[in-house]
Amino acid sequence: MTVSLDAKAPLTGGELDAVPEARVEGAPVMLRLSNIESSYGPVQAIRGVSLEVRKGSIVTVLGANGAGKTTILKTISGIVDPQKGSVWFEGEEIACRDPDWIVRRGISHVPEGREVFPLLTVQENLMMGAYTRRDGAGVEADLERMYGYFPILRERASQEAGQLSGGQQQMLAIARALMSRPRLLLLDEPSLGLSPKLTREIFEIVTRINREEGVTMLVVEQNASIALATAHFGYVIEVGRVVMEDTCERLLQKEDIREFYLGVKSDTGRGQRRWKRKKQWR
Ligand code: ATP
């Protein structure tokens, strides 16, 4: 199936062929954030965020620059300790644990801006992703699997990662994160700085990995069009708070989403978010 990146084209959700909605609807909750508050010194970045991710699903968090998306992922992966609230993952509390401990529990984070090791080769970067593992044969097999999903990385295996294009570095960052065999993958703005064609290519591979490997994903994005076409469920955040949550299929039908996140002009031309005028915005 194909997905249109033209913001004005109607999207219906699920264009990228992820795990079927019906299969994730009844799946158990894998990750739950309850009333999380996180700050950088005096700057409160998230102000009471609650969200859930079901096993096998792709969930997206949408929002403008500075809304708090990255901070949500950093709070889950242990880079930022929340002041309040709980992060529950597969039966245990993980808030404030070390990032290394969280990786070993099965969560891997692809940071914004990729952050590959520029002076290491592509293959060395991939092996760094497997640093928590002791199963040599399994690591070798996973390296092959990654080269299967991202053939360009095999071609560039012995090149320094710093010489790769932005899109190739993004592929490397995703593959490196998958080398720890996560059950939950956190992806921060995978489309950042990439052309529509490359963005689409990366999202297609990500959805294949979700479908074929069953890896659950939480994807933060500013490109609402591709994120809503890919994910099953979405949260919209503004100034550190969740202002809307629904299936992506339903979010795509909402006037506010179409107007403010997909750039589709409304007939009324109000230019004011409905959820700000209503107490109940669902
Ligand atoms: P972007 O898409 O620009 O990355 P975002 O939605 O991911 O935005 P965050 O990066 O989570 O937003 O930032 C949320 C708020 O926290 C913003 O006001 C930002 O300026 C602030 N912030 C983020 N990182 C820091 C930091 N290291 N020190 C101080 N303030 C920060």
- The atom number, within ligand 1, closest to the CA of 189 reads 2
Does residue 190's CB lie within 6 angstroms of at least one atom of ligand 1?
A: no
Domain count, the chain: 1
Q: Comparing 6 with 202, which gets the higher pLDDT?
A: 202
Q: Rg of the chain's alpha carbons, rounded to an integer?
A: 19
Residue range 148-153: mean pLDDT, rounded? 95
226 falls within a domain: yes
146 falls within a domain: yes
Cα dist from 168 to 49, 100, 179, 201, 224, whole Å: 33, 26, 16, 11, 22
Tokens 């990366």, residue located: 202
pLDDT, position 31: 98
Judge residue 122's burial from the number of C-beta atoms within 10 Å of its C-beta, 0-12 exposed, 13-18 middle, 19 or more buried. Answer: buried
Minimal-distance CA residue to ligand 1 atom 3: 65
Q: How far is the CA of 68 from the centre of ligand 1 (A)?
A: 6
Whole-model pTM?
0.88
203 falls within a domain: yes
Print the domain residue range for 147: 27-266
Q: What percent of the chain has pLDDT over 90?
A: 73
The contacts of residue 225 (CB under 8 Å, 6+ apart) are 4, 5, 6, 7, 11, 262
Does residue 67's CB lie within 6 angstroms of at least one atom of ligand 1?
A: yes
Backbone angles phi, psi at 262, to 5 degrees: -110, -5
Does residue 138's CB lie within 6 angstroms of at least one atom of ligand 1?
A: no
Q: What is the DSSP letter of 59?
A: E
194 falls within a domain: yes
Does residue 111's CB lie within 6 angstroms of at least one atom of ligand 1?
A: no
Rounded to whole angstroms, the Cα distance separating 131 from 114 reads: 18
pLDDT, position 276: 55
Least confident of 56-70, 217-231, 261-275: 261-275
Rounded to whole angstroms, the Cα distance separating 131 from 146 reads: 16
123 falls within a domain: yes
143 falls within a domain: yes
224 falls within a domain: yes
13 falls within a domain: no
CATH number of the domain within which 238 lies? 3.40.50.300
Residue range 99-103: mean pLDDT, rounded? 95
Least confident of 109-118, 120-129, 155-164, 177-186: 109-118
Q: How far is the CA of 43 from the centre of ligand 1 (A)?
A: 9
Residue range 203-217: mean pLDDT, rounded? 94
pLDDT level of residue 134 (50, 70, 90 thresholds): confident
Does residue 70's CB lie within 6 angstroms of at least one atom of ligand 1?
A: yes
Does residue 13 have a pLDDT over 50? no
Q: What is the C-alpha end-to-end distance of the chain, expressed in Å?
A: 30
Backbone angles phi, psi at 260, to 5 degrees: -95, -20
Residue 40's beta-bridge partner residues? Answer: 43
Residue range 75-86: mean pLDDT, rounded? 97
- The atom number, within ligand 1, closest to the CA of 68 reads 11
Does residue 43's CB lie within 6 angstroms of at least one atom of ligand 1?
A: yes
